Structure 1
Amino acid sequence: MGNQLFNTIYLVFLSLLISVPIGVAAGIYMAEYAKEGKMLSFLRVSIESLSSLPSIVVGLFGYLVFILMTGAKWNLMAGALAVSILSLPLITTTTEDAIRNLPIGYKNGSYVLGATQWQTIFKVLLPACLPRIITGVILAAGRGFGEAAALLYTAGQSTNINWSNWNLTSPTCALNPFRPGETLALHIWVMRTEGSLNPHATEIANFSSAILVILVLRFSLTARIMSERIKRKSGGSKE
């Protein structure tokens, strides 16, 4: 169970490493740089369509692009890329809405002090709406923790970790992102569908589900506490 738990956390970390910078950058572009018109409408329709895609379709797309077209085997990076596709719309829309809903005084005050648009975005607007962006990241991570269909075709259903091996190029190294890795959600699915091979499959699946729920709850609470601390600091109040 420890290997599956580590794979779950590592895969979500990799997916956020990919989706958060791209999603935040896309949200900034749509809120501050894109002009109202057909192009912006097209982007919004594309994001809405992407957010409504079934995860199994994204998994098949990831299998075609990240596995077959690259000639690779099932690996955690392919799974992280597939989960990133599912997370991008949420992070993008959250960032755009957070920036657009800030009082206009934030931006005007920065411009009056002589700041450029780039400085205003990164020194004023982003810090002010960081708590809301973190909320979007929490929701995106929660989907990554519980995702199974998209990982079924990309991350694989096997895990072989040697915890004494830290050679990143080795297929048994825990930190190698290009090795197969079964997550907790996949492990639950395997136990409930192929459990006839294991007499304790039901108990293992139930225990895995409990661990997954606790993991998501712990992550959400930690991220929420961090968000509240950032909010208090940015508001100038004492902790």
Structure 2
Amino acid sequence: MNAQKTNHIAMGVIYLLCAIVLMILVGLIGYIIVTGLPYVNWTFLTTPADSMGMGGGIRDQLFNSLYLLVLTLIISVPLSLGAGIYLAEYAPKNAVTKVIRSAIEVLSSLPSIVIGLFGYLFFVVKMGMGFSVLAGAIALTFFNIPLLTRNCESALEEVPADHRAGGLALGLSRWKTVTKIMLPEAIPGVLTGIILSAGRIFGEAAALIYTSGQSVPAVSYANWNPLSADSFLNPMRPAETLAVHIWKLNTEGLVTNAHQISSGASAVLVIVVLLFNVGARLTGRALKKRLDQ
């Protein structure tokens, strides 16, 4: 058997494996959407869980997921961007840097349930936050930082070295070179990573069961004061998210039409995550095209 024939066989096997993976993915997503989409309507999306009878809608859970996502990104993006800039531009190649990189790798490999238990013991119990949006956001920050840090570092490293050398040759300081030349060029990659991580955060459940809680207190969507106890923006209130709601419906067995509600909620969850992924690709391409002009 000659090398060319061996190469064709190997490529055929690779294409076959890719096709199998694609079919599994399409089948899984298609089943969730086809099964759940018939139950999704405007009433389902805008009605609280206890006002329609037999489980109700997902208004509060959907908002809680989005609110927790925003808080998590507010906390994790600056930390990850700073760490990425340090590792890509400033970190020397020594034992300290190796320890930092190893710590990031270890943190990224931790199961989300472990992060949730840590968040429960430290933030909920030790720090006295109770089950709250803020406790969930901080727990998800630990979950999100490794992915975002690696993404920011990779985006900066992909910028041609000539840009850095040109900035330094013009007499700019290292910080000015990073912030005025390197970072703007890396923005498409950084933004793509942020949007992709947003989809991962939106679908997280295990870490939030022990931090943000499984209850949905009555809140007023007309009260914009985050310090008010009944405000929908209060970060110290418990907040059951959409993913936790799906898990809860299928484990407690207290709702007669739990299958229909969880199917509709799962379809909404999958569609939103897909939108995050498509949005990341389109945004990255648009920004790159604009910067190349």
User: In structure 2, what is the equivalent of residue 184 of structure 1?
Assistant: 242
Report if aligned partners of 2:123, 2:130 keep a CA contact under 8 Å in 1: no
CA shift digits 1:194-232 (9 cap, x unpaired): 1x2111001110000001111112233334333222212
- Structure 1 counterpart SS, 2:79: helix
1:31 is the counterpart of 2:88: yes
Q: CA deviation at 1:52?
A: 0.2
Counterpart of 1:117 in structure 2 is 174
CA offset at residue 140 of structure 1?
1.5
1:88-237 alignment, distance < 5 Å: 88-159=145-216, 160-194=218-252, 196-236=253-293
| Residue 74 of structure 1, aligned match among 131, 135, 144 | 131
- 1:22 lines up with 2:79 in the alignment: yes
Mapped partners of 2:283, 2:154: distance in 1: 21
Unaligned 5+ segments in structure 2 are: 1-57
Alignment RMSD: 1.2
1:91 and 1:224 map into 2 onto residues whose CA distance is 16
Tell whether 2:77 aligns with 1:45.
Answer: no
Give the structure-1-normalised TM-score.
0.94
Contact 2:214 2:238 (8 Å CA) reproduced: yes
Q: Which residue does 2:121 correspond to in 1?
A: 64
2:64 to 1, 4, 7: 7
Higher Rg: 2
**Partner Cα distance (2:101, 2:170) in 1:** 33
Please list the CA deviations of residues 76-115 of structure 1 after superposition, one character each: whole Å capped at 9, or x if unmatched: 0110111111110011111112212321101011112221
* 1:58-79: CA deviation from partner (whole Å, max 9, x where unpaired): 0011111111112222100110
For the Cα contact (< 8 Å) 2:114–2:207, is it kept in 1? yes
Q: Deviations over 1:9-58 (max 9, x none)?
A: 11011101111110010011111111001011111110000000000110
For residue 170 of structure 1, report the CA deviation from its aligned partner.
Answer: 2.1
CA distance in 2 between partners of 1:186 and 1:222 (Å): 24
The TM-score, its normalising length taken from structure 2, stands at 0.77
- SS class of match (1:197): coil
Residues 200 and 273 of structure 2 are in contact (CA less than 8 Å); yes or no, is this contact kept in structure 1?
Answer: no
Instruction: Structure 1 unaligned segments of length 5 or more: list them.
Output: none
Q: Distance in 2 between matches of 1:192 and 1:104?
A: 53
Q: Which residue of structure 1 lines up, in the alignment, with residue 6 of structure 2? A: none
Q: How many residues align?
A: 235
Compare 11-20 and 156-165 and name the one that shifted more.
156-165
Shift of 1:151: 0.2
Separation (CA, whole Å) in 2 of partners of 1:49 and 1:220: 25
Instruction: For residues 138-171 of structure 1, give each alpha carbon's deviation from its aligned partner in whole angstroms, at most 9, with x where no partner exists.
Output: 2221221111110000001111222222232223
- Aligned equivalents of 2:196, 2:79: Cα separation in 1: 16
Give percent identity, aligned residues only. Answer: 46
What stretches of structure 1 move > 4 A for 4+ residues in a row? none
